[in-house]
Amino acid sequence: MTEEQKEEFIGVTFVSDMPYDWAMGPYSGRLFEEMRDNKKLWGIRCPGCKRLLFPPEAMCGYCFTEVNDDWVEMKDTGTLVQFTKAGMPVFDNRTGMLKGAERPLSNVQLDDGPYIMHWLEETDIDKLKLGMRVQAVWREHGRGRGYEDIMYFRIIEESSND
Amino acid sequence: MTNKTAEPVVFSGHLKIPYKFEAGMTGTRFLKELRDNKRIMGLKCSKCNRVYVPPRSTCKECFSLIDEWVEVSNEGKLLTYTVLRTRRDAEDVILGRHLPVAYGIIKLDGADTGFVHMLGEVDFDKLRVGMKVKAVFEEERTGNILDINYFKPVS
Amino acid sequence: MANRVAITGIGLTHQAARRPDVNDAEMINEAVRMALADAQLEIKDIDAVLTNNMDGFDGTHLSDSILVDGSGAYMKSGMKFNTGGTVGSTGAISAFNMVASGIFDVVLTIGHQKQERGNTMGTLCGAAPGELRELVQGAIGAFAQAAVQYMKNTGAKLEHAGMVRLKSDRNACRNPYAHLRLGLKSIEDVDQSPMLIWPLRLLDFCPQSCGACAMIVASEKAAKRITKKPVWVADHETVHEMQSEVVFGGDEEKSQQIAAKRLYKRNGITDPAKDIDCFELYEPSSWEEMYLYEHFFLAEHNKGWKMIEKGVTELEGDIPVNPSGGVLATNAIGATAMVRIAEAALQIRGDAGEHQATKDVKTALASGLGGTNWTTLVLLKRSL
């Protein structure tokens, strides 16, 4: 078919911009303040099932108990349990456009138990192995934007079981 | 460690997502007629004789598939209207027009459905339900519902 | 269920990457008309209409309001669901519940999506809380991470994912309603597709499709009047997980195992690989299909990949999984989980045509997957 013969269909394109103000609540709000001011991670212990909740919240979703003030200071070290790196441009929700994926995305199991999803410093995936020990590298001046106050996780030693 | 934040912590951001909406075969024919021929076309249900403008390919009443195209008039009756004077985000432009703007629902002669569009060339205080209005087309048309610039009163 | 419920009509559109020739209402209308014709009913015979999609992907809000002319819901009872990847099955299960309640006799339920429209990765950022949106790389990022973990834990190799993809394509090539019908010849064809998110290549992950599925669900009395081949809903189950950090994969018990245990126990299923004849599973990635073999107890823990190696899940095999080609071939998300149920029902009716499983299918299981690893299961039978 030539260009002229091709059936024309009309459409419209637009970018939907949805600004949001996300209230963190008193518990994650305290975590974000501590991350900003003291470069520290805090979870809260559920009085019902004793799970360490991170990020902390007013209630435990597992056993549906209201939490009290049993705050637990957590280490910022952990073990690499999942990682991946995009080979294609990924979507940037702040601009509505695609951007190159600079760093591998990972799941880290923190030494106190909970998981945190974050970037890895090492960009060569051939050098990454599950089970590696990693530690948070904090921004020098926290901006109060929670996880963004950590730049990425850095490998601190090779895994022993591989 | 206390449970009290200095002040409520709010994380602000933007979620921007690009979209493309396709008008489909029926919608495309309607928009092309506006663009190429300055004609307002509807679809007529051959079973219950209802004329849909903008066109719908299924009759909502009898669920028949509709494919009988009919031209309706550029003129119609204003069923209802309102005037938009301010916007929450303090922008004073909507669809390229400065506020205040008036818009309404128009029943075109020959159609059985209401047609939403802007109203122009009129003193807003003189708008009346039931008044006769007529489509004013754009000079440069792109295959968009705004190829009709607005509807103006017929004196 | 208190009252018996049957699937009595099925409609599927052909699925494609783009459908610029129809708007949403017109697209679902194709499936609705096919389901009505299948059941030999008219729209006036329908008591309630349900529509189901992911609004964010379609860029719509209150999508049911713009669909009425196509869905046939004008002045009828009904609801709209928006429960993520599971939504097609939520819509089907809700129709089952409505009929089982005794209030409705015949319910039409429709799953649909036009994925040409938006950006799934962008929309899924919106499924995370505001402060985590920067760290979301869509469903594919989560499934890629799960794949890496599966290889390490089980000893499965990239070639096993390739075998799953080839099976999907062989089956899809026999299914006229499938989107990707590629005619893949070898695992090299999969390996040569572009890398999306390591280790997932383009062909290791589900496509983005436009399409719709409609089903007509009826009470026992109505079903016997409507069709000679009712497919009975034996049971269903839905399990929600929390939005934890390890969404897919991992060693902990997931929603899949919990859903399967509950459903199997209630229905006296002790060996699902023998007690159920055919499976239509929601596998967003080729790796996830191997996970699902294990999660639904068709294979031992960490041994799912051996099933694909042995070929038992082929259309001709003892445990046919996704004879339709599955989600790897066809994925209009709001329709996808309902297509699993519809395809399972077609297998039981013996109406799947070229992709009918070789063994006689009397019992079939359909699964849905969505949210942060939510699971739905629907167990269908030829006779109760």
Q: Calculate Rg over the CA atoms of chain A.
A: 21
User: Own/partner pairs for C198-202, CB < 8 Å, 24+ apart?
Assistant: C198/A84, C198/A85, C198/A86, C198/A87, C198/A125, C198/C144, C198/C148, C199/A84, C199/C144, C199/C147, C199/C148, C199/C151, C199/C158, C199/C161, C200/A84, C200/C140, C200/C143, C200/C144, C200/C147, C200/C285, C200/C287
Q: Determine the distance in angstroms separating the CA of C215 from the nearest CA of chain A, rounded to an integer.
A: 30
Using the beta-carbon criterion (under 8 Å), do B20 and C123 form an inter-chain contact? no
| C-alpha to C-alpha distance for C217 and C186, rounded to whole angstroms | 41
pLDDT at A1: 39
Which residue of C lies nearest to B52 if distances are taken between CA atoms?
C69
Residue holding tokens 């597709």? Answer: C193
Using the beta-carbon criterion (under 8 Å), do A10 and B10 form an inter-chain contact? no
Interface A-C, measured as beta-carbon pairs within 8 A, has a size of 103
Q: Determine the distance in angstroms separating the CA of A80 from the nearest CA of chain B, rounded to an integer.
A: 27
| Main-chain phi, psi angles of A105, to 5 degrees | -100, 140
Burial C338-353 (b: 16+ CB within 10 A, else e): bbbbbbbbbbbbeebe
The answer to whether B145 contacts chain A (CB < 8 Å) is no
Q: Determine the distance in angstroms separating the CA of C38 from the nearest CA of chain B, rounded to an integer.
A: 17
Contact C228, C46 (CB under 8 A): no
Query: What are A91's two structure tokens?
Result: 């979507």
Using the beta-carbon criterion (under 8 Å), do C145 and A105 form an inter-chain contact? yes
Which has the higher per-residue pLDDT, A114 or A86? A114
Using the beta-carbon criterion (under 8 Å), do B61 and C74 form an inter-chain contact? yes
Query: What are C35's two structure tokens?
Result: 């389901």
| C-alpha to C-alpha distance for B32 and B141, rounded to whole angstroms | 9
Q: Determine the distance in angstroms separating the CA of B155 from the nearest CA of chain C, rounded to an integer.
A: 36
Chain Cα centroid distance, residue A90: 16
- Name residues 61-120 of chain A within 8 A of C (Cβ): 61-62, 81-88, 90-91, 93-94, 96, 101, 105-107, 114-119
| C-alpha to C-alpha distance for C283 and C291, rounded to whole angstroms | 9
Using the beta-carbon criterion (under 8 Å), do A96 and B9 form an inter-chain contact? no
User: HSE (CB half, 13 Å, CA atoms) of C205?
Assistant: 21
| Cβ-based burial of C75 (10 A; exposed 0-12, middle 13-18, buried ≥19) | exposed
| Cβ-based burial of C336 (10 A; exposed 0-12, middle 13-18, buried ≥19) | buried
Provide, as residue numbers in chain A, all residues whose Cβ is less than 8 Å from the Cβ of C199: 84
Nearest alpha-carbon partner for C373 in C86, C8, C53, C12: C86
Query: What are C382's two structure tokens?
Result: 């030829």
Q: Does A61 score more than 70 pLDDT?
A: yes
Query: What are C71's two structure tokens?
Result: 């869905």
pLDDT at A162: 47
Q: Determine the distance in angstroms separating the CA of C301 from the nearest CA of chain B, rounded to an integer.
A: 40
Q: Does A128 score more than 90 pLDDT?
A: yes
Which residue of B lies nearest to A30 if distances are taken between CA atoms?
B5
Tens-level pLDDT at each residue, chain C (384 residues): 889 999 999 999 999 999 999 999 999 999 999 999 999 999 999 999 999 999 988 888 889 888 999 999 999 999 999 999 999 999 999 999 999 999 999 999 999 999 998 888 888 888 888 888 877 777 788 888 889 889 999 999 999 999 999 999 999 999 999 999 999 999 999 999 999 888 999 999 999 999 999 999 999 999 999 999 999 999 999 999 887 656 676 677 889 999 999 999 999 999 999 999 999 999 999 999 999 999 999 999 999 999 999 999 999 999 999 999 999 999 999 999 999 999 999 999 999 999 999 999 999 999 999 888 899 999 999 999
Contact C82, C54 (CB under 8 A): yes
The answer to whether A9 contacts chain C (CB < 8 Å) is yes
Using the beta-carbon criterion (under 8 Å), do A22 and B31 form an inter-chain contact? no
pLDDT digits (tens, 9 = 90+) for A17-53: 888 899 999 999 999 999 999 999 999 999 999 999 9
Provide, as residue numbers in chain C, all residues whose Cβ is less than 8 Å from the Cβ of B27: 23
Q: Which subunits count as partners of chain B given 3+ CB pairs below 8 Å?
A: A, C
Q: Determine the distance in angstroms separating the CA of C186 from the nearest CA of chain A, rounded to an integer.
A: 23
In this prediction, the answer to ipTM > 0.90 reads no
Using the beta-carbon criterion (under 8 Å), do C22 and B21 form an inter-chain contact? no
Using the beta-carbon criterion (under 8 Å), do A114 and C245 form an inter-chain contact? yes
Residue holding tokens 């496509």? Answer: C207
Q: Determine the distance in angstroms separating the CA of A66 from the nearest CA of chain C, rounded to an integer.
A: 17
Using the beta-carbon criterion (under 8 Å), do C249 and A82 form an inter-chain contact? yes
Provide, as residue numbers in chain B, all residues whose Cβ is less than 8 Å from the Cβ of A14: 18-19
Q: Which of B3, B6, B15 sits opposite A20 (nearest CB)?
A: B15
Using the beta-carbon criterion (under 8 Å), do C72 and B24 form an inter-chain contact? no
Chain Cα centroid distance, residue B80: 13
Question: Of B27-36, B83-92, C205-214, C328-337, which range is least confident?
Answer: B83-92
Strand positions, DSSP E, A24-126: 41-45, 52-53, 71-74, 77-86, 90-92, 97-99, 105-110, 115-119
| Main-chain phi, psi angles of B146, to 5 degrees | -85, 10
Q: Which residues pair with C205 in a beta bridge?
A: C285
| C-alpha to C-alpha distance for C64 and C75, rounded to whole angstroms | 13
> What is residue B75's three-state secondary structure?
strand
Residue holding tokens 């990972």? Answer: A106
Using the beta-carbon criterion (under 8 Å), do A91 and C242 form an inter-chain contact? no
Which one of B12, B19, B26 would you mutate to disrupt binding with C, by most C Cβ within 10 Å of its Cβ?
B19
Q: Which of C19, C26, C43 sits opposite B26 (nearest CB)?
A: C26
Q: Which of A16, A117, A119 sits opposite C245 (nearest CB)?
A: A117
Query: What are B126's two structure tokens?
Result: 């003189």
Query: What are C355's two structure tokens?
Result: 């992709």
- Residues B81-99 have a mean pLDDT of 84
Provide, as residue numbers in chain C, all residues whose Cβ is less than 8 Å from the Cβ of B26: 23, 26
Task: Name residues whose C-beta falls within 8 Å of residue C51's C-beta, 6 or more positions apart in sequence.
Answer: C28, C63, C64, C67, C71, C73, C78, C80, C81, C91, C109, C110, C112
Task: Name residues whose C-beta falls within 8 Å of residue C271's C-beta, 6 or more positions apart in sequence.
Answer: none
Using the beta-carbon criterion (under 8 Å), do B11 and C43 form an inter-chain contact? no
